[in-house]
Amino acid sequence: MSHDLRSTLAAAIAEEYQLSGALRSVVKGHNHTFALDNEHGALAYVRMYREEGRTAEQISAELNMLGALIETTNFHCSKPFKTTDGRNFTSINISGFQARYFAVFEAINGRMIENCEGEYRQLGRAIRDLHTQSPLPGYIENRVFEEADFDKIYEYAQRNLQELSQESLRIVDRLKNYNIDAEAFGCGIRHGDVNPNNLILSENKLYMIDFDECDYGCQAFDLASIAFWLEHTSSNQAKMLFKALMSGYGMEVTDEVTASLNMFLVHKQILTLRFLKKYCTMPSEIWTDMVRRADLFLSNVVQGRLNVFA
């Protein structure tokens, strides 16, 4: 980020939010996240939204929903600050750049969760308490994205992921006609990207952060997201940790539940490739390896060879 853009953003935060400090880049992806630091540490976190893919209405829906979510013993989240005139986000304009929306959030100081049963059971309770909140009419309707649609993801894979094996494309093809187990999983608020990078444990309270992907839909997706993470990062402990999470969530991992989660794992794998292809620049050999790994993962899903469900 250029010095001019950074200084303009800092000035806008000071003017709009009455918060002053030094901006420090934390995560630079399709969104750009900064810490606003003072002499005591992080005062707030600032998210500059992606240049495309999020309308003002969708951003407003996310932040209004966050403001309205009720914290419980198990569920906590980083709330957005409001500007001095009551808005929950604003924008900056610099010559030569597209106008960018940004929002400022509470700073939560803590650590990532660890790979232990107790903390994953705690995560399961947090997800349950998020999922059981009312849909918050007026906010969530603007948070239904194309990438959440099985048919759209199938069409994307057929058009843009020809590098996948034919067997993988046939597996994705099954998404077209799949019906979720409505008795096991409800539809409602979902975080959309549950993984340890979006969780902070602070003073024994578990906070969910980064609701940029939150929407309304089948809530099995949140459980599949963490299963996907565990399968790829903690294979030796995946079964133990996922079992603890589902225990906290209050759901037994039956064959019917596993079947529904498997389809969302296929969905999650295609979304991951879509994200990498759209937002990341990488050497061809790394992309080829990513596709090879995706082929193996999709094969393991349908063959029942995932560690997380072993």
Q: What is the pLDDT of residues 61-111, one digit of tens each?
A: 999 999 999 999 999 999 999 999 999 999 998 766 678 999 999 999 999
Higher per-residue pLDDT: 195 or 310: 195
Average pLDDT, the chain: 91
CATH number of 117-309: 3.90.1200.10
Give the mean pLDDT of 233-242.
Answer: 93
Q: How confident is the model at residue 140 (pLDDT cuts 50, 70, 90)?
A: low
Give the tens place of pLDDT for each residue, 45-75: 999 998 887 889 999 999 999 999 999 999 9
Determine how many CB atoms are found less than 10 A away from the CB of residue 299: 14
Domain 3-106 sits in CATH 3.90.550: no
Q: Where are the domains of the chain?
A: 3-106, 117-309
Contact 209, 197 (CB under 8 A): no
Please enumerate in sequence order all residues whose Cβ is within 8 A of that of 76, keeping only pairs 6 or more positions apart, or say none: 126, 205, 206, 207, 208
Please report, rounded to a whole number, the percentage of residues in the chain having pLDDT higher than 70.
91
Question: Which positions ≥6 away from 166 have C-beta within 8 Å?
Answer: none
